[in-house]
Structure 1
Amino acid sequence: MRVTIALAQLKVTSFNKQLNLNRALATIQACKEKQVDYVLFPELFLSGYFIQQNIRELAEPADGESIKKLQAKAKETGVGVIIGFPERDRESMYNSAAFIDQDGTLQGVYRKVHLFDKEKSYFTAGEHCPLFSLPGGKMGMMMTYDVEFPEMARLYAVNGASLLFVLNAHHVPYEQHQEMYLRARGLENQLFIAAANTVGLQEMTLFFGESGVISPDGDYVARGSNNEELIVVPIDLGDVERSRAERPMKYLTDRKQKVYRAHGLLAE
């Protein structure tokens, strides 16, 4: 099944949710004209990354006004949306990603599991790795630091994912880290990875972009620059099963869970 993905490698204006929302809506419209099926935005796109001082005024529930406007735009254009935002659920704040399907339905929210550094002081960690259905396959979501834990991508793979959407907020000097982790997770799980990173300065921190799509063989299908751009990439989710069938490396079926469990890696 062929799916056309767009990676929205854009600058974010810190604390200006309305401006970022307007840019997202305009990008979704542009995706319609390019016959895109799903557009992926970076981590915390609606708010900016460094929001600890203003998190309570920027965060909103998953059924808040910003997400509703994105749902309406998705329904109007037929473009599915994956976008990062600060979520408020009662007194807890989450670093979240909404998945809005092509018909405008909010299929669900992923809450970042592996919080990085100071994120732990103002976000609550998520505890679930939900899978969602796409035409021709299943997908999961991850964010920046999540990718550095191979267990999480493997969990998605063994549960049937053929595509992982990664919402990034990666800044210099971690360009090589981003490439290594993305390619490794794609290769060792033999699935597609689509990653959208932001660009430009936020609070004197430079985000470097280099968004990309990784094939089930661990190679870049497409790779962005260090500037703003909309990267449109058609992929065939059927390549996942072909790669797993044709390659001699059977990473998923050759696992030795009994051994891992005996040595304490897996709980009883």
Structure 2
Amino acid sequence: MTSLPAAEAPAAAEVPAAPLTVATVQAEAVPGDVAGNAATAARLVRRATERGARVTVLPELFLPAYHPQTLAADPAGTDVAADATATVDDPRLDPLREAARDGGAAVVIGAAVQHPDGRRTISSLVVDPAGVVRVGYDKQQLWGGERELFVAGDRGATLLVDGWRFGLGICYDGCFPEHGRAAAVDGAHGYLCPSGYVVGSEHRRDLYYAARALDNTMYVVFSNAVGGEGRWRFGGGAAVYDPEGRPLARGADTGEDVLVVALDPEALAATRAAHSMLLDRLPDQGPARTALSA
């Protein structure tokens, strides 16, 4: 997992040499049970790698569960600690490390992270095929009450897997076109978005990430939680979108699922040749517009 500045990124027209199989998961996490949720994640990762997945994406804050009351009441129990190199060495994650090693694949999973400087962030952990766990990305766009518990990240990140470049986002990040565009301009072929959309938000859930795919002619891998109670009942709908925003796979609104899809570099190249927004974009929109009266 490497993050590169834009100047070192490949041109938008470059595509990977071979297909890549990815998986997106929708599942229910138990509030506050990091060890139990890590074991659940490991089971689902094994399902994905048995079907050839090289990257598996699980929901936002899956390790502690997206449950603000529990996150507020027990930071010590719900968080994982990162060291100065952004490495996470927490024995509760051992089943997940083992699943990644056994499958020879990477995992992207949501966590609450305590950093050495005291920051607490909503983050995506990346477990590499050797089982090493690092903080891959800290959520930049915090939503609502998240601001009372967490600090926003200040930079994007790119995950490199077998010649594919993936921008990392988390839930509300994907509601901002400029977030996905920044990843695409940096050379991303895809955008990985662990999320936590509650029941009742299906319209936005299904629109935002399809739009980010089409906006930027890139694949989008969207993961979401299911289950829960009261306000924090989540609506599934995990999906993989092609570079024109069409769902290649989508989960139901309820129930656990693992969706496995092969990303096709030829389809990526064909879409970018036909829809050249990344090449045609203006460096800016010019001076302020003149107001007209009619």
Q: TM-score, normalised by structure 2?
A: 0.83
Distance 1:263 1:237, change over 3 A: farther
Give the Å deviation of 1:106: 4.0
Describe the SS at the equivalent of 1:23. Answer: helix
Does 1:60 pair with 2:88?
no
Answering whether residue 224 of structure 2 is matched by residue 197 of structure 1, we say: yes
Superposed, 1:18-33 pairs within 5 Å as: 18-33=35-50
**Preserved CA contact (<8 Å) 2:38 2:93:** no
Q: Which moved more, 1:105-114 or 1:46-55?
A: 105-114
Name the SS for the 1:81 alignment partner.
strand
Other structure's SS at 1:197 match: strand
Label 1:183 to 1:6 Cα distance change in 2 as closer, same or farther (>3 A): same
Distance apart, 1:168 and its partner CA? 0.8
CA distance in 2, matches of 1:46, 1:81: 13
2:64 paired with 1:47: yes
- Post-superposition Cα deviations, 1:28-56, rounded to whole Å, max 9, x if no partner, equal 22223222211110000000112222223
Instruction: State the 1:143 CA deviation.
Output: 1.1
Residue 217 (str. 1) matches residue 237 (str. 2):
no
Structure 2: how far apart are the matches of 1:231 and 1:258?
39
Aligned equivalent of 2:114: 88
Further displaced range: 115-124 or 89-98: 89-98
Q: How does 1:224-243 map to 2 (within 5 A)?
A: 224-226=251-253, 227-243=255-271
Task: Say if 1:258 and 1:210 are closer, same or farther in 2 by CA, change over 3 A.
Answer: closer
8 Å CA contact 1:172–1:207 kept in 2: the answer is: yes
- Hey, what does 2:100 align to over in structure 1? 74
* Aligned positions, number: 261
Task: State the SS of the aligned residue for 1:154.
Answer: helix
Distance 1:86 1:172, change over 3 A: same
Tell me by how many angstroms 1:134 deviates. Answer: 1.4
Contact kept, 8 Å, 1:13 with 1:20, in 2: the verdict is yes
Q: Give SS of 2:193's match.
A: strand
Once the two structures are TM-superposed, the CA of residue 203 in structure 1 deviates from its matched residue by 5.0
Q: 1:244 to 1:123 in 2, by over 3 A?
A: same
Closer, same or farther in 2 for the Cα pair 1:34/1:146, shift >3 Å? Answer: same
Gaps of 5+ in 2: 1-17, 83-87, 290-294
Equivalents in 1 of 2:201, 2:230: separation in Å? Answer: 17
Aligned residue type for 2:113: E
Instruction: Structure 1 unaligned segments of length 5 or more: list them.
Output: none
**C-alpha distance in 1 between matches for 2:123 and 2:259:** 23
Q: Which amino acid aligns with 2:262?
A: P
Q: 1:242 to 1:108 in 2, by over 3 A?
A: farther
| Alignment match of 2:284 (pick from 248, 253, 258) | 258
Aligned with residue 154 of structure 1, among 160, 181, 185 = 181
Cα contact 2:220–2:241 (8 A) shared by 1: yes
- Are the counterparts in 1 of residues 239 and 247 from structure 2 also a CA contact under 8 Å? yes
Deviations 1:84-126 (A, max 9, x none): 0100013211000012233334465100000000000110000
- Give deviations 1:122-168, integer Å, cap 9, x for gaps: 10000110112111320111111111110010000011000111101
Counterpart of 2:220, as a letter, is: I
1:67 Cα deviation from its structure 2 partner: 4.6
8 Å contact from structure 1 (residues 107, 132) kept in 2? no
Rounded Cα–Cα distance in structure 2 between residues aligned with 1:212 and 1:239? 18
Q: Which residue of 1 aligns with 2:31?
A: 14
Alignment match, 1:181: 208
* Partner in structure 2 of residue 139 of structure 1: 166
Partner residue, 1:206: 233
**1:251, CA displacement in angstroms?**
1.0
Deviations, residues 67-86 of structure 1 (Å, cap 9, x unaligned): 55533431222121000010
Where has structure 1 moved over 3 Å in runs of 4 or more?
A: 66-69, 105-108
Q: 2:6: which partner in 1?
A: none
